[in-house]
Amino acid sequence: MTLQRSVLNHTEGLTAITWTLLLGGVALNAAAQLFLKAATRASGVLVADTGGVSWIAAAQLLKQPPLWAGLACYGISVFLWVGALSRVPVSIAYPMLSIGYVVNAFAAAALFGEALSVTKLAGIGLIIAGVLLLTRIPH
């Protein structure tokens, strides 16, 4: 059996385990971003406009538990993501990462006070529409 045939056999439908792997990977990736942002808020700016690195901020960052939580989320998400990629084409899986953008836009607004403008909300709507279209394309 060729690699192409093997991949095609796995794309006849997105099963519960496939959705779990995809959405679990996306959720952990999104959580990682939020943890990393929280860590940098505590450590301060790492790279100045001039390009210089603040080694004091970098040392402070390494002491932040959210940094390590974020890196752990990334590590676990990689395993889930590879599991998902073994089951569906990358052209279906990869756009699912954009769900993380949607989640994080709302989470960043709630957690960090980041603005949700009308333009951002329109973009979020387009992302959701695109993901819905991709998951309904016959394989």
* 89-107 residue pLDDT tens: 998 888 888 889 999 999 9
Would the pLDDT of 138 be above 70? no
Tokens 């329109």 belong to residue: 122
Q: Long-range pairs for 14-19 at CB < 8 Å and ≥24 separation?
A: 14/88, 14/92, 14/135, 15/87, 17/87, 18/84, 18/87, 18/88
Tens of pLDDT along 62-89?
Answer: 999 999 999 999 999 999 999 999 999 9
Amino acid identity at 74: Y
pTM reported for the whole predicted model: 0.80
Length of the chain: 139
- Structural domain boundaries enclosing 127: 3-136
Alpha helical stretches, state H, 1-139: 3-9, 16-43, 55-62, 65-85, 90-96, 98-112, 118-136
CA angle 65, 71, 77 (to 5 degrees): 135
Number of domains in the chain: 1
